[in-house]
A and B are shown apart, each in its own frame.
Chain A
Amino acid sequence: EPEVTQTPSHQVTQMGQEVILRCVPISNHLYFYWYRQILGQKVEFLVSFYNNEISEKSEIFDDQFSVERPDGSNFTLKIRSTKLEDSAMYFCASGDGPTNTGELFFGEGSRLTVL
Chain B
Amino acid sequence: AQSVSQHNHHVILSEAASLELGCNYSYGGTVNLFWYVQYPGQHLQLLLKYFSGDPLVKGIKGFEAEFIKSKFSFNLRKPSVQWSDTAEYFCAVNADSGAGSYQLTFGKGTKLSVIP
Q: What 0/1 readout, one digit per residue, does chain A (17-49) give for beta carbons within 8 Å of chain B?
A: 000000000000001010100000111110010
Cβ-defined partner of B104 (8 Å) among A50, A97, A102, A108? A102
Chain A residues engaging chain B, CB cutoff 8 angstroms: 31, 33, 35, 41-45, 48, 50, 55-56, 91, 93, 95, 97-98, 101-109
Residues of A within 8 A of B107 (CB): 42
Query: In this complex, which of B34, B100, B109 has the most chain A Cβ atoms within 10 angstroms of its Cβ?
Result: B100
B43 touches A102 (CB 8 A): no
Please judge, given known A-B contacts A55-B101, A95-B102, A103-B46, whether A42 and B34 are in contact too, CB under 8 Å.
Answer: no
Taking residues whose C-beta sits less than 8 angstroms from the other chain, chain B's interface range is 20 to 34
Q: How many A-B residue pairs have CB under 8 A?
A: 68
Q: List 14 A-B pairs, Cβ < 8 Å.
A: A33-B103, A33-B104, A42-B107, A50-B101, A55-B101, A56-B101, A91-B43, A93-B104, A97-B102, A98-B96, A102-B104, A106-B44, A107-B43, A108-B42
Please judge, given known A-B contacts A55-B101, A98-B100, A103-B34, whether A44 and B43 are in contact too, CB under 8 Å.
Answer: no
Report Cα–Cα, A105/B42, bound state, in Å. Answer: 13
A109 touches B43 (CB 8 A): yes
B106 touches A42 (CB 8 A): yes
Residues of A within 8 A of B36 (CB): 106
A45 touches B108 (CB 8 A): no
Please judge, given known A-B contacts A91-B43, A102-B94, A106-B43, whether A45 and B32 are in contact too, CB under 8 Å.
Answer: no
Chain B residues engaging chain A, CB cutoff 8 angstroms: 32, 34, 36, 42-46, 49, 51, 90, 94, 96-97, 99-109
* Chain A binding surface SS class: strand
B109 touches A42 (CB 8 A): yes
